[in-house]
Structure 1
Amino acid sequence: MLPPDRAMPLLLLLLFLGLGPAAAAADEQFVFDGFTGANLTMDGMATVTPNGLLQLSNATSQLKGHAFFPTPLQFHRAPNSTAMQSFSTAFVIGIIGAYDTLSSHGMAFVVAKSRNFTSALPGQFLGLVGSANNGNATNHLFAVEFDTILNSEFNDMSGNHVGIDVNGLNSVDADNAGYYDDATGAFRNISLVDRKPMQVWVDFDGRTMQVNVTMAPLQVARPKKPLLSATVNLSSVIDDTAYVGFSSSSGILFCRHYVLGWSFKMNGAAPALNISSLPSMPVTFPKPRSKVLEIVLPIASALLVFATAALGWWQRFRIIKGVASGLLYLHEDWEQVVVHRDIKASNVLLDADMNGRLGDFGLARLYDHGTDPHTTHVVGTMGYLAPELGHTGKASKASDVFAFGAFMLEVACGRKPVVQDARDNHLVLVDWVLDQWRAGTVTGAVDPRLGGDVVEHEASLVLRLGLLCSHPLPGARPTTRQVAQYLDGDLKLPELSPTYQSFNMLALMQDQGFDPYVMSYPMTSITAGTMSQMSDLSGGR
């Protein structure tokens, strides 16, 4: 041991040379076979359960959770050097949703300059960034995401993928979750939401700048071939010192994200985890207290309403009323406003009693009652997109009502919202029903396959309400509560205004920026970027 009079000068020299505590830990490693008593820095929903699970999220919607190793690690070989140190990490994760095929948003392993993520958003942003700084170089963020919802704004490839992220959530490399079988070389899919633990290895070679991500079910040995292998120059992304940990967030659906064990090593392979010592994941998911799941996630058979040939009129009317009830809950009765943004027949499920329920909330957005949603990306499906979206890009409750109007007309008429005839002309269902209404025979638009099964006054109500919901002016459309009251007979439906006499949806959509070439993709989800690309293509024809 050094004498006291020499210890302080030596410490000052080490600090001056950049060999202080962080540099001294250059080859640091740690192993957590469970997290009971672990020294971690946590925030938000993150907690350690009594049996040693690191739980990043709980059954609370629209929140985030983080857990980090408490001290920063030295990722560059020397301060201000571009030479990176290699690192390796292994961890076991598990995702448990209220349903074994549906989940909230995912989770991520993170290397970050700071443990402060107060400005990051939950939901699709995974608690890592916000809409304003997604992709900014100043984030100094590296992550491997395990995402369970397809988000078109990040160009996600699927709702079950693993991605390598740099400074944002537009992955530089991604693939469907799974692994390559060593014996056959075949790819084996892994469902991230099947409630089973899975092991992940992330390795970075500081010399070649190669990132490898490998995963497998917990009881399968590490595959030789990684799932992802990409060259990523992290020298300007990761600061000299940075924190390592995990991030997660919840969305509309209820879900819990767990880490069972974690090891890390700088300049070497991460120590193997003791699988037999890891805590067990919960067997069941407690029933959520909120009624939102009763509205949006029924135990339903995957029957699509669009298949209206295996439904009679009373069934179709019941489905319409069921979807209206669910939309009313999302818009008005929940603690926040949920704008679905992709209401269409193929996103409606039927339960055993033929109740219609909204599904697929991958494009949904939440905001507080009485505030502006601030959405600026056009997403959804042609035929259900309100005309104002082509100009403003701002989704709202009114644009959801428009889509619901198109859905009502589709169910009643048995026709798609947009079709092409033999001469490649685009025919919009709203315009066709309007023609029937102008001729005084609006019920003539009802699906002829229904025969005499139709209750005429109900059919007239649905068709006229569908037109009212499809009004070109957002302010002239009824609220969701009024829609429900009209359908229940609690409120008399007003007569359609004379403005409809000259209303043509196809022309209006084109005037608002929905190019005719785009209209030939009626059942495809369209983003603003895709619309721009298609417009470019059509301009060259």
Structure 2
Amino acid sequence: MAPLTFLILFFTVPPYFFADSKFLYNGFHEGKGLNLDGAAIVKPSGALCLTSNSQNVVGHAFYPDPVMLFDPRSPSNTSSFSTTFVFAIDPSIPGHGGHGLAFTLAPSTRFDEAESGHYLGLFNPLNDGNPSNHIFAVEFDTVKGHGGVTNSRGNHIGININGISSVKSQLAASSYYVDDTVWKEIQIDSGDPIVAWIDYDGRSKNLSVTIGLLELKPEKPLILCHIDLTSVMKNQMFVGFAASTGIETSAHYILGWSFAVDATARQLKYSQLPNRPNEQNISSSSNNNSQLKSVLAVSSIIVLMAIVILTFLFIRMKKAESLEDWEKDCPHRFNFKDIYTATNGFNDSAQIGIGGFGSVYKGKLSSTGAEIAVKRVKRDSSQGMKEFAAEIESLGRLRHKNLVNLQGWCKKQNDLLIVYDYIPNGSLHSLLHTSKQSVILKWEQRFNILKGIAAGLLYLHEDWEQVVIHRDVKPSNVLIDADMNARLSDFGLSRQYDHNEMSHTTRVVGTIGYIPPELFRTGKASKSADVFAYGVLLLEVACGRKPLGSNQFILMDWVMEWYETGDILHVADPKLDSIYKVEEMEMVLQLGLLCTHWKQEARPSMRQVMRFLNREDPLPASDAWTNSQSIFESSSRLTMTDRSSSMSVGPISSASINEGR
């Protein structure tokens, strides 16, 4: 550049062009010189409130200094700019708020003639669409119906040039995961913090708008379009926000903001951002403050004490409001990034199990080095959220050496994750039915495992503060730790009720082969249903055979037939090579038949089962239970097949049995 040209530019370009063209607000404490207009205020928390829940108001907040959006060396090109901000829209009535907010570039911070409602405090019916406005806006609109007779709920992002009609718009949505191509709608007036990223390339004339939740920016933008802003922008423009309400009202907040010209906007520190105030609580606080002023004349000491008490209650209430019921029982919520990293992005190589609920992954926390098991509940499961909440609610407070320990959980949109201690020896099912000879369970190990399962069920049925019915006791839900002790797991189908109440479950759930006959008639699970499933498990562990097999094989019938011949030891698992204590084997097999009695009142309680296993009580005489008949013999409508089949039990489909609640 020639020296004379440089001097001309130096003295003709306004001094703000050479000033810092980047700024960052992690909260707006004391306003930091923002140019506020209309209803806009900065809350004590540092949240920028553009409008309150008042009707027909507008609010503006702009950075006080203009920014240069034309490069003097290339006046035909608009400068690139980048911004990211966190906003929250809190409607006065859920689903019926209005009207939205807009990120705005304008030649002035004054909008004296602008109207509220659909015009967002930027335009009016006379200048709407006028090229002389020189206004660029990205609107976050919560009400549809501009130009129509009636309004309706809106939830879209639009690109506006000089008017309220969008040249490009999309339903508010986000692709939440880096490798996920599925878009999911985000309700921008949910009251939750939402992050927006807006980037404009002055050379390519490409504009991108992305929205998502905190921490993880979606890989794909919501809007990507070609827009030439050369005729819209002036040499100097002010950057900020506008919002408005109408008959429908919302409180519109900006919690943090970063902006840059010809550079990428700096990352916000989400942990430093203020919380969105609760407008209802603020209103209550205002009333309380007016009362405190009148009390102040009587006693300043009482006022100070009242302030301390109210502040304490307010903090407690805010904390309680942010928690769901089941979260209160298990407050340890993991960060999604930590779980994602621990499992190597849920890589297939880390997968250690799969079932109707989803998949289980082995992971290692980088912060502690502890090994964990992560259950990732299926996102497309109709019962996914119910089972997720049920398992956390059940395991969150349960503590017993024969139950799997719940470490915590993570819920990020459709990703439902439950984190347990990692149990190294896998499931009892895999150890019983594996073809590897090196992992054959010895009888002493099997007997110890059976006693451990019984101890866990006794704790659930009688020793905890409530009754917990597991409803899916089977070998694949029993994990074996490093000391070969049993840990009962998978409480996604469990139910809780008080000790002095009756179970009210009315749907058949569980796994075919472990479901008692009365459940098909009444649908009401009880402690005796768990006892029945435990009885099937006793026979399976002793015999090494699954409850159902080919050629209509039924384990309970087979064991009963050999018992009636007087040679019950014939059914013992041949892989044991007859190395077992005869009295223990006979007792386990007979106890299995007793627990699977077709009359539920004839089955023992888990406390009685423990006394039998510990040889504290003898088994009842055989004539008390040898007349039992199999569930399968008593139900001619049952077709035998495995869990993954499409069979039905009477009018109940296997899908409802495996997945119903």
Quick check: 1:336 aligned with 2:405?
no
In structure 1, distance between residues paired with 2:53 and 2:328: 43
User: SS of the counterpart of 2:496?
Assistant: strand
Shift of 1:72: 3.8
User: What CA RMSD, in Å, does the superposition of the two structures yield over aligned residues?
Assistant: 4.7
User: SS of the counterpart of 1:520?
Assistant: coil
Given that residues 598 and 630 in structure 2 are in contact (C-alpha distance below 8 angstroms), is that contact kept between their aligned partners in structure 1? no
Given that residues 402 and 452 in structure 2 are in contact (C-alpha distance below 8 angstroms), is that contact kept between their aligned partners in structure 1? no
Which residue of structure 1 aligns with residue 454 of structure 2?
324
TM (normalized to structure 1)? 0.51
1:458-488 C-alpha deviation (Å, 9 max, x unpaired): 0011000011100101111000100111101
Shift of 1:28: 11
Quick check: 1:86 aligned with 2:86?
no
Shift of 1:496: 2.7
| Count of aligned positions | 327
Given that residues 450 and 538 in structure 2 are in contact (C-alpha distance below 8 angstroms), is that contact kept between their aligned partners in structure 1? yes
**Cα separation, partners in 2 of 1:525 and 1:225, compared to 1, 3 Å:** farther
Shift of 1:406: 0.5
In structure 2, distance between residues paired with 1:452 and 1:388: 36
Given that residues 210 and 218 in structure 2 are in contact (C-alpha distance below 8 angstroms), is that contact kept between their aligned partners in structure 1? no
Structure with bigger gyration radius: 2
1:492-515 C-alpha deviation (Å, 9 max, x unpaired): 11123356336233122x25xxx4
Give the AA of the match of 1:477. R
Given that residues 406 and 470 in structure 1 are in contact (C-alpha distance below 8 angstroms), is that contact kept between their aligned partners in structure 2? yes
Quick check: 1:305 aligned with 2:431?
no
| Aligned equivalent of 1:292, options 396, 399, 403 | 399
Which residue of structure 2 aligns with residue 516 of structure 1?
638
Which residue of structure 2 aligns with residue 531 of structure 1?
652
Which residue of structure 2 aligns with residue 75 of structure 1?
97
Shift of 1:224: 1.3
Shift of 1:248: 2.2
**Cα separation, partners in 2 of 1:216 and 1:415, compared to 1, 3 Å:** farther
1:424-466 C-alpha deviation (Å, 9 max, x unpaired): xx22111111111111111211101101311110001100001
Quick check: 1:412 aligned with 2:408?
no
Which residue of structure 1 aligns with residue 506 of structure 2?
376
In structure 1, distance between residues paired with 2:55 and 2:467: 49
Give the AA of the match of 1:468. L
Which residue of structure 1 aligns with residue 351 of structure 2?
none
In structure 2, distance between residues paired with 1:480 and 1:242: 56
Quick check: 1:457 aligned with 2:583?
yes
Quick check: 1:224 aligned with 2:331?
no
Shift of 1:399: 0.1
Which residue of structure 1 aligns with residue 599 of structure 2?
473
Shift of 1:348: 0.3
User: SS of the counterpart of 1:490?
Assistant: coil
Which residue of structure 2 aligns with residue 400 of structure 1?
530
Shift of 1:249: 3.2
Shift of 1:339: 0.4
In structure 1, distance between residues paired with 2:330 and 2:502: 25
**Cα separation, partners in 2 of 1:201 and 1:492, compared to 1, 3 Å:** farther
Which residue of structure 1 aligns with residue 265 of structure 2?
none
Which residue of structure 1 aligns with residue 388 of structure 2?
none
Identity of aligned residues (%): 35
User: SS of the counterpart of 2:152?
Assistant: coil
**Cα separation, partners in 2 of 1:448 and 1:398, compared to 1, 3 Å:** same
**Cα separation, partners in 2 of 1:351 and 1:78, compared to 1, 3 Å:** closer
Given that residues 380 and 527 in structure 1 are in contact (C-alpha distance below 8 angstroms), is that contact kept between their aligned partners in structure 2? no
Given that residues 378 and 527 in structure 1 are in contact (C-alpha distance below 8 angstroms), is that contact kept between their aligned partners in structure 2? no
User: SS of the counterpart of 1:407?
Assistant: helix
The runs of 5 or more residues in structure 1 that have no matched partner are 1-18, 30-67, 89-163, 165-172, 188-198, 204-211, 227-239, 261-282, 536-541
Q: Which has the higher contact order (CA 8 A, sep 6+)?
A: 1
Give the AA of the match of 1:296. L
Give the AA of the match of 2:324. S
User: SS of the counterpart of 1:317?
Assistant: helix
| Aligned equivalent of 1:441, options 567, 581, 594 | 567
In structure 2, distance between residues paired with 1:471 and 1:350: 28
Give the AA of the match of 2:614. D
**Cα separation, partners in 2 of 1:216 and 1:290, compared to 1, 3 Å:** closer
In structure 2, distance between residues paired with 1:256 and 1:71: 31
Shift of 1:292: 1.6
Given that residues 598 and 628 in structure 2 are in contact (C-alpha distance below 8 angstroms), is that contact kept between their aligned partners in structure 1? no
In structure 2, distance between residues paired with 1:346 and 1:524: 18
In structure 2, distance between residues paired with 1:495 and 1:337: 30
**Cα separation, partners in 2 of 1:213 and 1:402, compared to 1, 3 Å:** farther
In structure 1, distance between residues paired with 2:335 and 2:55: 28
